Amino acid sequence: MTRRRTRPDTSGKPGYITREGYRRFEAEADRLWNVERPKMAKAVQVAAAEGDRSENAEYQYSKQRLAAIDRRLRFLGQRLKVLTIVDETPPDDGRVYFGSWVTIEDEDGNAQTYRIVGPDEIDPDEQWISMDSPVGRALLSREVGDEVTLKRPRGEATFEIVEVSNEPPD
């Protein structure tokens, strides 16, 4: 599951997203609209039939969950309208582009692989980082063999780009 923004983007600014990320947003909206929302609407109806709504915890919870689903649906609808799908496969010239998988290595030889994606589809579990993040900005347009210095809370760290790929790593 993708990480959700702590504050929804209400600016309406266009953003970039991969085809997979766009499909995930569409699938989430479809699931919320066709599965979750009808289930919660039914739960509200059943809880309302039980009597006093002011002291009915199930009714209160169902109403709050239904409102949360509606908020997420509105957000997804607004974002899907303004997102730009980057569908082109980047050139395989060793440079880092949007959608590329990048393997970097620190001074100790520890390697990490990241995928550069749009801010709407970051996923720490998958190692997908935003092109707008400090690491993403530092890596974009660089190529294999380049050294990148990143400022971290513990101080600066230098990494070398050891591999750039348009396909997910094994």
pLDDT, one tens digit for every residue, the chain (170 residues):
445 554 555 555 668 999 999 999 999 999 999 999 999 999 888 888 887 777 778 888 889 999 999 999 999 999 899 899 998 888 888 899 999 999 999 888 899 999 999 999 998 999 999 999 999 999 999 999 999 998 888 889 899 999 999 888 87
Relative orientation angle of helices 19-31 and 57-82, to the nearest 10 degrees:
150
Task: Give me the amino acid identity at 153.
Answer: P
Task: Considering only CA atoms, give the Rg of the chain.
Answer: 21
Beta bridge partners of 115: 101, 128
What is the CATH architecture of 15-86?
Orthogonal Bundle (1.10)
162 CB contacts (<8 Å, ≥6 apart)?
103, 104, 105, 111, 144
Q: Taking the domains of the chain in order of start, what are their residue ranges? A: 15-86, 101-165
What is the CATH architecture of 101-165?
Roll (3.10)
pTM: 0.76
Q: 3-class DSSP state for residue 62?
A: helix
